Amino acid sequence: MITFPNESARYRTAREKLLKKEIELRRAMEAVAEARRALPPGGLIRQDYVFDALGADGRPAKTKLSDLFAPGKDSLILYQMMFPRHPQETRDVATSGGTAKLARPDQPCPSCTALLDQWDGAVGHLEAAGFNFAVVAKTALENLVTLGRDRGWKNMRLVSSAANSFKRDYNAETADGAQIPLLSVFHRDGDGIRHFWSSELGFAPPEPGQDPRAIGTCEILWNLMDFTPEGRPDWHEQLQYGEACCH
């Protein structure tokens, strides 16, 4: 086992005990991933949903769900963000940039926005590895593109479902129109496009003392905090900190 300068024997004993738990966690995470990969085929999509998106020329265009699959890449990772924000959201709105022009109820969820800030840089790597990635929101395409510009997003494909029922059909919108954050994966096979997996942990009954962590394994910000002695603070992401709108 390794050691670090000036550590005590007490520290080393405790650290090696913790290491065993970390190894157990790694095994459990791989077991869950293996079970996920072994899921039987999910349901075929009911229709080839048509979204509003930017075309290759940078102008608004109609894009089908099937268009989000590049040739030879059969899995689509799709984040369904809360934009507009949940009706009960009380955090501050954006105060600068184009997003600030939207009324409070029409602005995006700060947590969804922060999560996408972290993922934007990963998209090029995902695509190089053979996967597709996109973000869908119920807001108008203009609002979604403006948010991306405000945040400096360069890589994510942004599509609007304002004119279709996709988010409601796939459990990312309540009956009264409130938006729900959901990470979904769709897979294309010889029969068409199927739903493969979604972050249903967010719908599971809460447990005392447990953060919902519906997609906890890929929430970079919060996982980094878990490595510190302070742990996760009583804190929430914001659309701006101080005077800055975005970063």
DSSP 174-221: -TTS-B--EEEEEEEETTEEEEEEE-GGGGSPP-TT----TTGGG-HH
Query: Is residue 214, in this structure, part of any structural domain at all?
Result: no
Q: What is the domain extent for residue 188?
A: 50-201
Query: Is residue 191, in this structure, part of any structural domain at all?
Result: yes
Query: Is residue 120, in this structure, part of any structural domain at all?
Result: yes
Average pLDDT over residues 78-107: 97
**CATH assignment at residue 136:** 3.40.30.10
User: How does residue 246 score in pLDDT terms, banded at 50, 70 and 90?
Assistant: low
Q: Please, what sign has the CA dihedral across residues 128, 130, 136, 142?
A: positive
Number of domains in the chain: 1
- Percent of the chain residues topping a pLDDT of 90: 92
Query: Is residue 31, in this structure, part of any structural domain at all?
Result: no
pLDDT tens, residue by residue, 162-216:
999 999 999 999 999 999 999 999 999 999 999 999 999 999 998 888 887 889 8
User: How does residue 31 score in pLDDT terms, banded at 50, 70 and 90?
Assistant: very high
User: What span, in angstroms and rounded, lies between the C-alpha atoms of 174 and 10?
Assistant: 52
User: What span, in angstroms and rounded, lies between the C-alpha atoms of 29 and 244?
Assistant: 37
User: How does residue 64 score in pLDDT terms, banded at 50, 70 and 90?
Assistant: very high
Query: Is residue 64, in this structure, part of any structural domain at all?
Result: yes
Query: Is residue 117, in this structure, part of any structural domain at all?
Result: yes
This prediction has a pTM of 0.94
pLDDT tens, residue by residue, 123-136:
999 999 999 999 99
Query: Is residue 140, in this structure, part of any structural domain at all?
Result: yes
Query: Is residue 99, in this structure, part of any structural domain at all?
Result: yes
Distances in Å between the Cα of 78 and the Cα atoms of 103, 104, 164 are: 26, 25, 16
Helix 110-119 / helix 141-151 crossing angle, nearest 10 deg: 60
